[in-house]
Structure 1
């Protein structure tokens, strides 16, 4: 994945961790992966005021897509500058993807598109749409 996609996926998983308060970082489930990812980002950028501020704002309003996007925008240039760290985050994201019940949906709306509502529906089994 490119740094922008990694940053957005990481921000989304961080937001999920904060919003749902899933786990305390122990275990091997999604909660543990999300906690490790958040800790890794905080440790790597400790003292970086822009990252700290973006994460704090997300913690204050974890359901905000705009604040998750803000975290992604702050992380993106840092990941571009540090491919090794981007690779570490990608490995954590790959691990999170393998966890039961984890689905990552990224919607990009480009140009002058007008969107009234985006709906994501989880489905198990066969689906027929007529």
Structure 2
């Protein structure tokens, strides 16, 4: 079996993240009013105050990341951006868990059916998916004089 190259790992991660962010961005756009309403319910004054702006900004950022992941020359930056956005979401979810908020997830689509703890794990898996290709360095092969 051939070793998984760094480029192959980047492409696999990019495809998974494109599916995730593409799906959630479109869901948030299609359900904009619901998304903004749910953001206004959050017990974080800044989030509630900025809900209409966040309702546009969050899916826009997700779509920019999708675009970056599609471009060979921007893919690594897109993976880092994915990690950072997922980190922000993890902080938000952790805050929701620590405050005991029983609000629905604002992610959109079927993903919003997950509980907060499940969502924490789900995002952690995608954080690993986004950062692993940026740190994975395949071992270089050193050939001796004979080519067997």
* TM-score interval, smaller chain: 0.3 to 0.5
Q: Which structure has more helix as a fraction of its residues?
A: 2
TM-score between both structures, scaled by the size of structure 2: 0.35
Normalising by structure 1, report the TM-score. 0.39
Greater C-alpha radius of gyration: 2
